[in-house]
Structure 1
Amino acid sequence: MHPVTLDGTEAAVHALARALRPLLDGSGGSAVLPLAPGESPLDMRRDLPVEPGTGLIVRTSGSTGAAKGVLLSAAALRASATATHARLGGAGTWLLAMPAHHIAGVQVVIRSLLAGTPLAVLPAGGFRGRRFVEAASDVLAADGPRYTALVPTQLTRLLTEGGDALAAARSFDAVLVGGAATSPTTLAQAKDAGIEVVTTYGMSETAGGCVYDGVPLDGVRVRLEDDVVHLSGPTLAHGYRLDPDNPAFTDGWFHTSDLGRVVDGKLEILGRTDDLINTGGKKVAPTAVERVLTAQAGVAEACVVGLPDPEWGQRVAAAIVANGDVDTASLIAAVRAQLGAHAAPKQVHVIAEIPLRGPGKVDRAAVAQLLASAATSRTRGNNSSANTPP
């Protein structure tokens, strides 16, 4: 096992590339374990043999429990990168703009290696338009297709900043956006601005994004069982480190915890099963409420969670980031009109930014804590939240 600590520097990213190269070209090498600064490989038990066929071990974010080590073969990594290039229009030059210890970042490195093109790296230190422009300059000067991958928060910042940052984003032949749900409003704004956005859905267990703009990559299969998404195909991992019997992998399929539906032949993700809010015996999908909220004027981002309620079991609560004047009563009324009274937030709280974890994923636990504290403050006379009776 070959641990590589990614500290955000270009040197660390190139060290990762050197470790991955022999695995991808079949010349040998040890299974690579990318690590964030301060992470330890000890829980991966380096004293025990790595499972056969493993080229890369990626730690999950741990957003739904203890972090796990996802086992990916070199074949799965190559299949993912090859299918991505085929979908986008050919191999090209990439800008790495996200942490390389997550699968989305690792895959940018792998695509660059397989394409044989120089990799540009956005150094750690905060995502700002000026730094994005500087990092993108060499990529945008290259011949052939130019690509990058962002999380929704990064895309939102580029849209907000405008100017040279927006012009740079517009110059890429494709900007993959994934790692978390992107609001329809943000996508519409990006497309109106001329950015070639491609939404991606996938996870470490599928070697990264495996469904682009709702359509599976070549070889990837999707099925729904009780509205839960199951995935299969050549990009699939072969299990978890030191957990050979995990039921998430069964008969060549990975059972996600995501709810989905197919609309006009395209997969639409509705949220996670464990994020569903049970209020008064009715189920509310937070993603559906978030889509209504972010479609309203003045709302840039939204996160909806369920908070404990002595009468209803849970109550719907929302944290929003505003980019203009907002009337919380109107927001609540909009959700009620579109989704029903049971889905209407009983609490709306305006915050500066949505807490994130991992590769741009919303930290719903942190949002729930924030909203619970806001509700407590309001009962003590702080009117920072808008509430309606349950």
Structure 2
Amino acid sequence: MRLERLDADDPRDLLRALRAALGAGPAVALGGAEVPDEVPAGTAVVLTTSGSTGVPKSVVLSRHALTSSALATTARIGAGRWLLPLSGSYIAGVQVLVRGLVQGEEPAVLSGRFSAAAFAHAANGMHSTRGGIAVPRFTSLVPAQLQTLLDAAEHDRAVHRALAGFEAILVGGQALPAAMSERAAARGARIVRTYGSTETSGGCVYDGVPLDGVRVEAVDGELRIAGPTLADGYLDEDLTARVFPTDGDGVRWYRTGDAGGVEDGSVSVTGRIDNVLVSGGVNVSLDRVERVVRELPGLEGAVVVAAPHERWGETPVVVCENGDERSLAAVRAAVEAALGKPARPSRVVVVGTLPRLASGKPDRRAIRALVR
């Protein structure tokens, strides 16, 4: 099957491309990475993501996987019209459009930079009826966007009405703080916490419960997922073999790299097994941040760890024996230049002596406890 590259800056172009890809093709490539001109039959999207390691990975998603996810979402929360306030270069944005296409309801699109006013304008313009009954409205956000809306809703009635007007608001990409969830509920927003990844065609666990057809198990502390929403794999065949193993019963699993467990059918996620955090829905490799920080004068021995952040979920924090809080501006500028804004540390913590293991290596667990 032919594969066409697409710049997802204009969601309407992406919508047209996805409509074709879910039909007879061609498939669409998103993310800007080098990809082949041909992909296996049945492919709809090749989406290149930073992944859990911070290293780009090109995920191959079939028509069957994408539509299975969309149909399972409809079965769980209902059908209606969707609003896209997310970038189309991420799976959450792609899935908003796919759900609309599968349901035969043209999605509404929030154009330009996200703001509370733009969201409210788009949401309040979605009102429609079918047979005299209002068509339910749905949307998908990351926590940072939700916080922007909640802050604005304190004094803007239009934003408040928009939040309360959705049948369900999917929130994923990172952990949702309990305080933010409570604020949303107080504003009448019906929040559904989602868990998933590009490799699972987006969220496949809603409020801790897997979607119909999805299986989640914990193996040696790592969450693994099976079901019809799984990607076919990666363009890298060796990586596919490692991350998508098949068990003795012929069941194909996706190794998430997330630590967690499953109890009484409820999935809990406790963090990443590797050294990566998710800040504002973007994966950030702490190893890469640390390498940049250690290039700065006086910070050669600095350690970078993850710490909770009210707005972004998690952010990098620099811990060092030298320097002071005035180092923060230089650190943020250097990291932004090398890795982008989501990777910028939020704090510099100066300690007398860095906790270390017997081997002399930094005791990262102790350091994380210190900054948290």
TM bin (shorter chain): 0.7 to 0.9
Contact 1:319 1:371 survives alignment (8 Å): no
Match of 2:142 in 1: 151
- The reply to whether residue 31 of structure 1 matches residue 18 of structure 2 is no
CA deviation vs aligned residue, 1:178-216 (integer Å, no higher than 9, x gap): 011111111122122211000100000000000000000
| 2:43 aligned counterpart, secondary structure | coil
Match of 1:78 in 2: 67
Q: Please give the alpha-carbon distance, in whole angstroms, between the structure 1 residues aligned to 2:67 and 2:43.
A: 13
Contact 1:54 1:74 survives alignment (8 Å): yes
Which of structure 1's runs of 4+ aligned residues deviate more than 6 A? Answer: 305-308, 313-317, 345-349, 354-357, 387-390
CA deviation vs aligned residue, 1:17-51 (integer Å, no higher than 9, x gap): 22222332x4x11111124xxx3x4x2133xx313
| 1:180 aligned counterpart, secondary structure | coil
Q: Please give the alpha-carbon distance, in whole angstroms, between the structure 1 residues aligned to 2:306 and 2:140.
A: 31
Match of 1:18 in 2: 16
- The reply to whether residue 262 of structure 1 matches residue 262 of structure 2 is yes
- Relative to structure 1, the CA distance from residue 389 to residue 134 in structure 2 (aligned partners, 3 Å threshold; closer, same or farther) is closer
What amino acid is aligned across from residue 77 of structure 1 in structure 2?
Answer: L
**CA RMSD of the aligned region, Å?**
3.8
Question: Percent same amino acid at aligned positions?
Answer: 39
What amino acid is aligned across from residue 229 of structure 1 in structure 2?
Answer: L
What amino acid is aligned across from residue 85 of structure 2 in structure 1?
Answer: A
Q: How does 1:200-219 map to 2 (within 5 A)?
A: 200-219=194-213
Contact 2:127 2:135 survives alignment (8 Å): no
Match of 1:337 in 2: none
**Normalising by structure 2, what TM-score?**
0.73
What amino acid is aligned across from residue 8 of structure 2 in structure 1?
Answer: L
- Relative to structure 1, the CA distance from residue 102 to residue 245 in structure 2 (aligned partners, 3 Å threshold; closer, same or farther) is closer
Q: Please give the alpha-carbon distance, in whole angstroms, between the structure 2 residues aligned to 1:5 and 1:315.
A: 33
**Normalising by structure 1, what TM-score?**
0.69
| 1:274 aligned counterpart, secondary structure | coil
Q: Please give the alpha-carbon distance, in whole angstroms, between the structure 1 residues aligned to 2:320 and 2:274.
A: 20
| 1:33 aligned counterpart, secondary structure | strand
- The reply to whether residue 6 of structure 1 matches residue 8 of structure 2 is yes
How far is 1:371 from its partner? 3.5
- Relative to structure 1, the CA distance from residue 64 to residue 245 in structure 2 (aligned partners, 3 Å threshold; closer, same or farther) is closer
Q: How does 1:1-390 map to 2 (within 5 A)?
A: 1-7=3-9, 12-24=10-22, 26=23, 28-35=24-31, 39=32, 41=33, 43-46=34-37, 49-62=38-51, 64-89=53-78, 91-125=79-113, 127-142=114-129, 143-162=134-153, 163=156, 164-243=158-237, 246=240, 247-251=242-246, 252-263=252-263, 265-275=265-275, 318=307, 320=309, 363=342, 365-367=343-345, 371-372=347-348, 375=350
Contact 2:59 2:235 survives alignment (8 Å): yes
- Relative to structure 1, the CA distance from residue 177 to residue 70 in structure 2 (aligned partners, 3 Å threshold; closer, same or farther) is same
- Relative to structure 1, the CA distance from residue 141 to residue 133 in structure 2 (aligned partners, 3 Å threshold; closer, same or farther) is farther
CA deviation vs aligned residue, 1:272-329 (integer Å, no higher than 9, x gap): 01138xxxxxxxxx99xx9xxxxxxxxxxxx9x8989x9xx9686747459xxxxxxx
| 1:131 aligned counterpart, secondary structure | helix
What amino acid is aligned across from residue 138 of structure 1 in structure 2?
Answer: G
How far is 1:262 from its partner? 2.9
What amino acid is aligned across from residue 172 of structure 1 in structure 2?
Answer: F
CA deviation vs aligned residue, 1:135-183 (integer Å, no higher than 9, x gap): 1122244532110000000011111111221220111000000011111
CA deviation vs aligned residue, 1:78-108 (integer Å, no higher than 9, x gap): 100000011002x210100000111100011
Q: Please give the alpha-carbon distance, in whole angstroms, between the structure 2 residues aligned to 1:256 and 1:362.
A: 25
How far is 1:119 from its partner? 1.5
How far is 1:244 from its partner? 5.2
The unaligned stretches of length 5 or more in structure 2 are 247-251, 312-318, 352-368
Q: Please give the alpha-carbon distance, in whole angstroms, between the structure 2 residues aligned to 1:317 and 1:203.
A: 20
Contact 1:317 1:346 survives alignment (8 Å): no
Match of 1:298 in 2: none
Contact 2:177 2:310 survives alignment (8 Å): no
Contact 2:171 2:191 survives alignment (8 Å): yes
Contact 1:317 1:371 survives alignment (8 Å): no
What amino acid is aligned across from residue 55 of structure 1 in structure 2?
Answer: A
- Relative to structure 1, the CA distance from residue 185 to residue 29 in structure 2 (aligned partners, 3 Å threshold; closer, same or farther) is same
- Relative to structure 1, the CA distance from residue 317 to residue 151 in structure 2 (aligned partners, 3 Å threshold; closer, same or farther) is closer
